[in-house]
Amino acid sequence: MTASYINLDLTLYVSFSLPMFKKDGDCWVKVYGYGAGTRVCVNKNLKCHGNACSNQFLNYITGLWIDKERKLEELDGLAREVAEELVKEFYCLSVSASPWDTFEILTSTFLSRNTDFHKNTVKWVKAFLRKLADPKRASVNQVTQAAVSVYREFGSYQLLQFIEVLNNLLAITHIAPTVTPDTTRRSLLKVKYLGPKVADSFILHSGLDMSRAPVDVHYMRFLKRSGLLDNEHIQPRKSYCITYDCSTCPALQRCVYAYTTRLFKSLNGFTQTAAYVMDKLQVRRCEDVDRSKLKTQLGAVVTNF
């Protein structure tokens, strides 16, 4: 599979799949979840070694499940101009997802609230998964015991809240692949502590819908800089999202979530991801990314498996 333009380090750096991987030289090894033990390497070509290797698996891991050039054809106006520039300048970036690891992805997104993802969330999720040989086969009691053990080790309120709503999260991840993304989103938003940003991050990074994008401060800044957002727009509110469908919501015309979904359609998830990279790493194109520095940063968060 020829995909030498992919910067898998960068793509996984911004993915909620990151805690399931470790870096080994030029390769990434899936340590937890579906295809554990599989190695994905990018040099001149994309190579895969392991029992999970398939075009579908590689497409999701590398982000190739989003055909950026083709999806551009859905857009028009200023939105198309903005997206075309991002696709051109961030040709090496995409959205890594895993539809086989819904519980692991939801754990990662839930524990990312109000904390540093790379410093704290990755560490917590790795510790949690390390205590579970296979979350899909573990009993609810075993999963709970693992979560309690991690809480005792790190003591964060996010982990305590995770334990409180664990049964709800497990139930939702079991049915998520069989229902519509809208149904999944409404179910998630009924869970205590879980808001629109976590719900939309989960739907995107579990590969359920590429048009969903978490509305965060990075995306808001990008949209304003691009001339696509004014001060009348608001971030999605949980109270509205639980009560109404988007089509009947009184905040429809002002809601950034609904607005960007209409604006960027199937490229919404990629656009938000690129906006995050621009803001987080202070870069404007793939060539601006300091690969050596990124490798060092990744080395600090994907060790101790």
Q: Considering the domain boundaries, does residue 164 fall inside one? A: yes
Q: Considering the domain boundaries, does residue 117 fall inside one? A: yes
Q: Considering the domain boundaries, does residue 184 fall inside one? A: yes
The 3-class SS string of 249-266 reads CCCCCCEHHHHHHHHHHH
- Please, what is the angle between helix 256-264 and helix 268-281, to 10°? 110
Domain count, the chain: 1
Q: Considering the domain boundaries, does residue 257 fall inside one? A: no
Range of the domain at 180: 102-205
Over pLDDT 90: what percentage of the chain? Answer: 86
CATH of the domain at 172: 1.10.340
Q: Considering the domain boundaries, does residue 48 fall inside one? A: no
Q: Considering the domain boundaries, does residue 16 fall inside one? A: no
Q: Please tell me which residue, 5 or 220, carries the higher pLDDT value.
A: 220
Q: Considering the domain boundaries, does residue 165 fall inside one? A: yes
Q: Please tell me which residue, 58 or 2, carries the higher pLDDT value.
A: 58
pLDDT band at 299 (very low <50, low <70, confident <90, very high): confident
pTM listed for this prediction: 0.95
Q: In the chain, which residue ranges form alpha helices assigned H by DSSP?
A: 8-13, 55-62, 68-72, 77-89, 102-110, 122-130, 140-154, 157-164, 166-175, 181-189, 196-205, 217-225, 238-243, 256-264, 268-281, 291-301
Whole-angstrom distance, CA of residue 219 vs CA of residue 44? 32
DSSP 208: S
pLDDT band at 300 (very low <50, low <70, confident <90, very high): low
Least confident of 18-22, 36-40, 222-226, 293-297: 293-297
pLDDT at 2 over 70: no
pLDDT, tens digit (0-9, with 9 covering 90-100), for 26-81: 899 999 999 999 999 987 788 999 999 999 999 999 999 999 999 999 999 999 99
pLDDT of residue 304: 53
Q: Considering the domain boundaries, does residue 45 fall inside one? A: no
Q: Are 23 and 299 in contact (CB under 8 A)?
A: yes
pLDDT of residue 45: 82
